[in-house]
Amino acid sequence: MNLEAKSVSGRETRYFCVWEAKPLQLRMLKLSFLLIILLISTAAVPVFSADRYRREDFPPGFIFGAAYEDGRSSSIWDAFAHEGNEHGDTGDVAIDEYHKYKEDVQIMAQTGLDAYRFSISWSRLIPNGRGPVNPKGLQYYNHFVNELIAHGIQPHALLCNYDHPQALEDEYGGWISRKIVKDFTAYADVCFREFGDRVSHWTTVNEPNEAMTRGWHQLNDVLLHLYLTARKATLHLSPTWQLTICCWHTHQLQDYTEKRISLYIFRSIPLTNLTADVAANQRAQDFLTGWIADPLMFGDYPSTMKRNVGSRLPEFTNHESKLVKGSFDFIGLIHYNYLYVEDNSVSLKEKNRDFNRDMGVKLYCMLLITNTRLFEIRPRDLQQILENFKSAYGNPPIYIQENGQKTRRGSSLEDPSRVKYLHAYIGSVLDAIRNGSNTRGYFVWSLWDGLELLDGYESSYGLYYVDLDDPDLKRYPKLSAHWYSHFLKGRGVSLDGIIELEKNLSGVSKDASFSRMISM
C-alpha cells in the first residue's frame, strides 16, 4: 500500500492509500458475507443527517442492536494471529464471552438492545471441520441463545466469518476448493437443526467481496495466487470461489428461511468529473458490489465483468442462475469509510491482469492523516448507498450489520467522536427510510472493544471498554454506551446535545449528569 497526496476538486491536499495491482501490497480494511460498503461522496466537511430524532421516529419493528464476533478452537485466524499478523496479539482468550456470557447479556439488556449479532465458530462446534459435534460447544451456544431470548434480545447469527477450521485449510485449502461445500453444508445443517427453533435471522457468509479482493491475499501462499493472471489454471480460483459461495448460500436457502447474505459494499465516486473517471467509477461498482449482488438479484454477473474478464470468469449454468437469483430474505450491509476511483483503463490492454487491472481503475481509500485516525463523519454516504440499493436492486430488505467509529484503544471512556458519528449515521438511516428505503435494522459495531483483524488490540470500536489487564476482564461503559442506551430507551437526541457533551466531558461518566446533557 502506498500513500499518495492528491488535490481533490480544488480542495486541500489529502493523503490517499492506493490499492494498485500488486496483491502483496494490498491491505484488508476489515473482514467479516457482507458486501462491505465504503461510501464515497464529494462533501468536504461533515454533513449531519436528521438533526433531532427519537426511537419512535423509526418504523414499527425496526431493530436496533450491536454486534461482536467471537471465535474458537484452531481456525485459520488463529494461525494468522499466531504468525504475528495482529501486532503480536491473539484471540486465544480475547474478551472471553465464552465464560462471561450471562454477565454480557445482562449488560445488553440494560443497554436496551433489541438484538445482538454474533458469529458461530465452526471450529468450536465441529473442531475438525467434519464429524462429531463438540458437546461443550453445542451447550455454550444453546445457553447463550437462551440467555438472549430470556432477556428479550433477538439473536442474529452469522455462520461464516472466514474462520473455518485449520484442519480443512491444511487438507484442501478451505474456500478455494469445492470440497468445502459439503463440509460447510453439514456444519450449517447442525446450526439450523440445533438453534433454528430460536434463531430466525441468519447470515450465511460475511463480506465475500472484501475477502476475495483483498483480505485473502495476506493469509497464505496458496491464497496469494487468487485471480492474478489469465494464463495459469491454478490462478483461476477467486472467481470460482465466488460462484461456490453463491451456490452454497442458495442451497441453504432452499431448506431454511429468513437468511441473508452480508455485503461490504464499496460505494465509490469518481476522482474527478472527467468522463473517463465517471466510467471507471461504474466499473468499480460492477466489480466490487455487482460481483456478488448481481447474481443474487439477477442471476448473472454484471456485463462489464463478463466483458473485461472473459473466459476467466466462470459461468453460471441455467440451473445455477435460477437457484441463485433471489436467494435471500435480507441483504446485510457494512459501512465505515469511502473510496475515490480514477480511470486506469490502459491496464485493460495488458496481457496478464489481476483484479484491479480487470477493473481498469485505481482505488484511493482517502484517509485524513490525524493523530486519532478517526473515520470522517459522512452520513450522506450511507444514506446514498441505501437509496442506490433501492433504485438499482428493487429495494430489498436491508439490515445495517456493522457501522461504527474507530478510536485508539484505551484513550478514554469519554468518546464524543463516537457519539457524534452514531448520531449522524443513525439519522442518515432515518432519512433514507423517509425516502422509501426498506431498511429494517441497524447494528453498531461494536458492543465491546476486542481483537480487530489486522489491528489487533490497537484500535477500539466498542461502546464498552474491556480491561485486558484485569483477570476478570471487567467491562466499562463509555460515553457512547450511555448515549445509545438513552436513545434506545426513548430519549430524544439532537446535534445540540452532542455539542453540549463535548463541552462537559468531566461529567459524562455518570448517568445522571449524562442525562442532563442530552436533548430530552
Residues with a known catalytic role: 207, 402
Q: Residue 498 is placed in which grid cell?
A: 452532542
Distance CA 266, CA 244 (A): 22
Instruction: Assess contact for 74 and 167: CB atoms under 8 A.
Output: yes
Q: What is the sign, positive or negative, of the torsion defined by CA atoms of 367, 368, 373, 377?
A: negative
Distance CA 350, CA 372 (A): 40
- Can you spell out the DSSP letters for 120-138? --HHHHSTTSSSS--HHHH
Q: What is the dihedral of CA 93, 95, 99, 102, to 10 degrees?
A: -170
- Where do the H-state alpha helices sit in 177-314? 179-195, 208-213, 237-255, 275-285, 291-298, 303-309
Please give the sequence-ordered ranges of beta strands (E in DSSP) within 55-153, or none if there are none: 63-67, 115-119
**Which candidate, 120, 436, 382, 100, places its Cα nearest to that of 267?**
382
**Which candidate, 155, 128, 159, places its Cα nearest to that of 245?**
159
- Count CA atoms closer than 13 A to 314's CA, side-chain side: 19
Q: What is the sign, positive or negative, of the torsion defined by CA atoms of 296, 297, 299, 305?
A: negative
**Which candidate, 35, 40, 37, 48, places its Cα nearest to that of 14?**
40
Burial letters 363-393, b for 16+ CB under 10 A, else e = bbbbeeeeeeebbebbbbbbbbbbbbbbeeb
Distance CA 224, CA 393 (A): 32
Distance CA 263, CA 331 (A): 7
